Homo-oligomer: A and B are copies of this chain.
């Protein structure tokens, strides 16, 4: 796409008018990039059909900076929603896409984001079927915010619910934690430090599909620990099921440089956001086999079991340390890392 031929260098208010400039922006960038029969109807909405139950999930992405080590806001907006749909035990098929752009965003940056959206939506097997573009005045937004809503067909063997969780169930994590949050922190104004930590943003839907194909109802819960990290998600689950969760400090998968960065900044990696990692709570009978299957997939090659469901300490997450100590892991209070997604 030759940006210099567009006749405009930045997004301005006219691009959100619903008039000729909006159509121009859509024709030159959006319709051209995504070019599929759903979007080409150019109607207010799109019509689709599903055979089975549909899982729906929505997320607005307000990450700052919009370009970061390992990805950008567009990539994140696709992967984040694709993964949320997958966490419902569904196979993501379609996404809606809505931009809120701050006046003055460079077209070059907008195109880069749109191209990323196209690339990762192709990778994860979803189509962008309907959308919206709004423009707000300078100082009334922050470059670009993106909402995606995702639709997936529920896997015929899936039965994902906190209600299925039993004492003894194993808690599995699909990879190294805290990478996304620390990648963003490492780049933030005033907090930059020498680091090669990159965001783990990726789509995990195909790995989830394989797990459901093989283990069906034995997969009791899937959840991606984004905002609030592993600690917040597990605390929420413990609270919902009125059972206890025990995790083991020496099992937590953590890369050395992420651990070091957390130490420098005084952050607990258990509370730091992830984008390409998920937690599976599974029947102990299949736990070993689930881990084996996950490790064979590139997106799950660092999978480990970090703990189990227990009838001790109901509603609480307790971490046992390598030297035998125990401490309660509470959910995140306040906000340590604003706008990491």
Could you tell me if B58 and A154 are in contact, using CB atoms closer than 8 angstroms?
no
A87 touches B53 (CB 8 A): no
Q: Does A130 interact with chain B (Cβ within 8 Å)?
A: yes
A44 within 8 A of B: yes
Q: Which residue of B lies closest to A227 (CB)?
A: B18
- Distance A50 CA – B55 CA, assembled complex (angstroms): 11
- A135 contact set on B, CB distance < 8 A: 335, 338
Interface string of A99-136 (1 = CB under 8 A from B): 11000000000000000000000000000011110111
CB distance A20 to B333 under 8 Å? yes
The A interface is mostly helix, strand or loop, or mixed, namely mixed
Interface flag for A65 (CB, 8 Å): no
- Mark A248-276 against chain B: 1 for CB-CB distance below 8 A, else 0: 00000000000000000000000101000
Q: Give every chain B residue within 8 A of A34 (Cβ-Cβ).
A: none
Q: Which of A57, A142, A236, A240 has the most CB of B within 10 A?
A: A57
Residues of B within 8 A of A50 (CB): 50, 54
Instruction: Report B-chain residues with C-beta under 8 Å of the C-beta of A94.
Output: 56
Q: Which of B41, B54, B273 contacts A47 (CB 8 A)?
A: B54
A57 touches B42 (CB 8 A): no
Across-interface contacts of A314 in B (CB, < 8 A): none
Enumerate chain A interface residues (CB-CB to B < 8 A).
Answer: 12-14, 16-23, 41-50, 52-62, 64, 84-85, 87-88, 90, 94, 96-100, 129-132, 134-137, 139-142, 145, 147, 149-151, 154, 160-161, 223-224, 226-229, 232, 236, 240, 271, 273, 330-336, 338-339
Copies of this subunit: 2
**Using Cβ atoms and an 8 Å threshold, which residues of chain B touch A17?**
227-228, 332, 334-336, 338
Residue of B nearest to A145 (CB): B100
**A47 with B96, Cβ < 8 A, contacts A21-B334, A226-B18, A332-B20 known:** no
* A134 in contact with B60 (CB, 8 Å): yes
Q: Is the CB of B130 within 8 A of A58?
A: yes
| Minimal beta-carbon separation of A93 from chain B (angstroms) | 11
Check B338 against A137 for contact (C-beta < 8 Å): yes
User: What's the nearest-Cβ distance from chain B to residue A203, in Å?
Assistant: 14
